[in-house]
Amino acid sequence: MDELNKAIPIRVTISEASRLFGVSNKTIRQAIKKQELRYIVVKNRYKISFESLLNWSQLSTRRRNLLSTDGIGQYIEQWKIHNRKFSPNPKIIDQIKTEIDDNKV
């Protein structure tokens, strides 16, 4: 794979994570302490992996709801699919994931 095509990991601070996901700084710090989030330390500041934040936010119904109501989800109407006809077909999503996994090998 070409070096330019590799995804650059997105990392956010604790305060950015709390605002994006609609939770308190204390909740993010507790998740770090419990090792539920992946992070690095840069100049004595936590930089949390955005991917791990997304996964973590989806593990709890309460956090998932906070993301939609108090976090970034409240601003993005496109995330809310109102018409079932346009909802993604799970079979197609699985097929795409399989194709992506096959290309990685």
Kindly tell me if the per-residue pLDDT of 1 is higher than 50. no
Q: How far apart are CA 24 and CA 19, in angstroms?
A: 8
Q: What is the pLDDT of residues 54-100, one digit of tens each?
A: 899 888 888 888 888 888 777 776 655 666 565 666 777 788 788 87
Q: Which pLDDT does position 13 carry in this prediction?
A: 95
Q: What is the pLDDT of residues 5-44, one digit of tens each?
A: 567 889 999 999 999 989 999 999 999 999 999 999 999 9
CA angle 52, 100, 4 (to 5 degrees): 75
pLDDT, mean of residues 39-54: 93
Q: How far apart are CA 10 and CA 70, in angstroms?
A: 21
The amino acid that residue 87 corresponds to is S
Q: How would DSSP label each residue in 51-83? A: HHHHHHHHSSHHHHHHHHHTSGGGG-GGGS---
With contact defined as beta carbons under 8 Å apart, do 53 and 37 qualify? Answer: yes
Q: How far apart are CA 31 and CA 53, in angstroms?
A: 10
Q: For the chain, which residues make up each domain, given as ranges?
A: 3-78
